[in-house]
């Protein structure tokens, strides 16, 4: 929320959106404090997923997917810390790039013309980045992002019904649950901001959106890694880090000499 009396290191707010958090309430260097630090769990979860993917030598697509999650969280931190329009792109453009990566991971196993999909998605992502940098559009961006997300659902559902492992199915359910809860937090923060800002304690709905979407991405990645390992015959199992954080453990068949 804007406050013209607050001094800031980054200058006047130029972003096209502001969330329901008082600007520069805790530091003159961080515009939206909670919306900034709430990206830290997202980075840590993506890092855990990346280490697991590299350690067990999953396909590179999963390493790139985890890295994209980290890039998105870092971009979001930069944007919410500054609320500058030019840095708003570091939050919104990686959101689209990340969904394009998910589309590739979801649909590429059954895509017969393997070179066409990554080429098209790369060109699409590059064109979007240029257009989004030149043109300020809020509603169109949201509708475009929702449309891309909806394209992922049929394939996720297909993987869900094909998977017999109950622990893997639980991951898919957690993906749906965190998505619904995160969306609810985002909507409440946007729709009831005037009321929430007068509460003694602001529930920080957008910060919870970040945290829940960090878990959402982690659950999605882990579920997709399990499904891909099944396709490759790697005997995947869902085990838990620290007793509560699920990850995929695989057993690749030994190569015959």
In DSSP notation, 81-131 reads HH--HHHHHHHHHHHHHHHHHHHHHHHGGG-SSTTHHHHHHHHHHHHHHHH
The values of phi and psi at residue 238, to 5°, are: -90, 120
Question: In the chain, what are the helix, strand and coil shares in percent, each to the nearest 5?
Answer: 65, 5, 30
Q: Does residue 131 lie within any of the structural domains?
A: yes
Q: Is 240 labelled as part of a ligand binding site?
A: no
Q: Give the structural domain span for 122.
A: 33-153+165-251
What integer is the mean pLDDT of 25-29? Answer: 88
Q: Does residue 4 lie within any of the structural domains?
A: no
Q: Does residue 27 lie within any of the structural domains?
A: no
What integer is the mean pLDDT of 31-50? Answer: 96
Most confident by average pLDDT, 78-92, 127-141, 214-228: 214-228
What is the reported pLDDT for 174? 97
Q: Is 22 labelled as part of a ligand binding site?
A: no
Q: Does residue 8 lie within any of the structural domains?
A: no
What integer is the mean pLDDT of 210-239? Answer: 96
Q: Which of 3-17, 76-90, 109-123 bottoms out in mean pLDDT, i.e. has the lowest?
A: 3-17
Q: What CATH number has the domain bearing residue 44?
A: 1.20.1070
Question: For the chain, what is the domain count?
Answer: 1
What integer is the mean pLDDT of 136-144? Answer: 86
3-state secondary structure of 138: coil
Q: Does residue 77 lie within any of the structural domains?
A: yes
CB atoms within 10 A of CB 118: 15
User: Rounded to an integer, what is the distance from CA 226 to the centroid of its chain?
Assistant: 19
- Note the pLDDT tens digit of each residue in 154-183: 999 999 999 999 999 999 999 999 999 999
Most confident by average pLDDT, 132-136, 179-183, 193-197: 179-183
CA-CA distance, 181 to 167, in Å (whole number)? Answer: 21
| DSSP secondary structure string for all residues of 177-214 | HHHHHHHHHHHHHHHSHHHHTTSSS---HHHHHHHHHH
Q: Which of 168-177, 197-206, 218-227 bottoms out in mean pLDDT, i.e. has the lowest?
A: 197-206
Residues 6+ apart with CB under 8 A from 45: 69, 214, 215, 217, 218
CA-CA distance, 105 to 101, in Å (whole number)? Answer: 6
Mean pLDDT of the chain: 90
Q: Is 35 labelled as part of a ligand binding site?
A: no
> Radius of gyration of the chain from Cα atoms?
20
Q: Does residue 83 lie within any of the structural domains?
A: yes
Q: Does residue 21 lie within any of the structural domains?
A: no
CA-CA distance, 4 to 135, in Å (whole number)? Answer: 26
What is the reported pLDDT for 2? 53
C-alpha torsion angle, residues 101, 102, 103, 107 (rounded to 10): 110
Asked if 26 and 33 touch (Cβ cutoff 8 Å), the reply is yes
What integer is the mean pLDDT of 10-39? Answer: 89
Asked if 253 and 233 touch (Cβ cutoff 8 Å), the reply is yes
Q: Is 52 labelled as part of a ligand binding site?
A: no
Degrees (nearest 5) of the Cα angle 151, 39, 240?
A: 75
What is the reported pLDDT for 111? 78
pLDDT bucket at 255, cuts 50 / 70 / 90? low
Q: Is 85 labelled as part of a ligand binding site?
A: no
pLDDT exceeds cutoff 70 at 247: yes
Q: Does residue 1 lie within any of the structural domains?
A: no
Q: Is 198 labelled as part of a ligand binding site?
A: no
- Note the pLDDT tens digit of each residue in 58-111: 999 999 999 999 999 999 999 999 999 888 888 899 999 999 999 999 998 887
CA-CA distance, 75 to 78, in Å (whole number)? Answer: 5
CA-CA distance, 185 to 204, in Å (whole number)? Answer: 8
Asked if 12 and 61 touch (Cβ cutoff 8 Å), the reply is no
What is the reported pLDDT for 25? 87
Provide the percentage of residues in the chain whose pLDDT is more than 90: 69
């Amino acid at each position: 929320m804007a406050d013209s009396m607050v001094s800031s290191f980054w200058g006047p707010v130029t972003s096209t959106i502001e969330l329901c958090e008082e600007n520069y309430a805790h530091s003159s260097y961080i515009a939206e404090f909670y919306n900034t630090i709430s990206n830290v769990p997202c980075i840590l979860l993506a890092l855990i997923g990346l280490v697991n993917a590299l350690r067990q030598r999953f396909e590179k697509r999963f390493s790139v997917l985890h890295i994209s999650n980290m890039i998105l969280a870092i971009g979001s931190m930069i944007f919410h810390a500054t609320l500058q329009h030019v840095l708003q792109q570091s939050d919104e453009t990686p959101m689209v790039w990340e969904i394009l990566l998910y589309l590739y991971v979801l649909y590429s196993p059954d895509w017969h013309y393997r070179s066409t999909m990554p080429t098209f998605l790369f060109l699409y992502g590059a064109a979007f980045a240029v257009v989004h940098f030149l043109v300020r559009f809020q509603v169109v961006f949201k509708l475009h992002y929702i449309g891309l997300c909806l394209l992922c659902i049929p394939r996720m559902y297909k993987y869900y019904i094909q998977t017999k492992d109950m622990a893997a199915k639980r991951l898919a359910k957690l993906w749906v649950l965190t998505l619904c809860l995160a969306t609810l937090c985002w909507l409440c923060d946007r729709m009831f901001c005037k009321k929430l800002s007068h509460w003694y304690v602001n529930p920080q709905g957008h910060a919870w959106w970040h945290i829940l979407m960090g878990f959402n991405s982690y659950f999605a990645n882990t579920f997709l890694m399990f499904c891909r390992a099944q396709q490759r015959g790697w005997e995947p199992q869902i085990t838990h880090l620290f007793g509560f954080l699920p990850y995929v453990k695989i057993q690749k068949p030994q190569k015959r000499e």
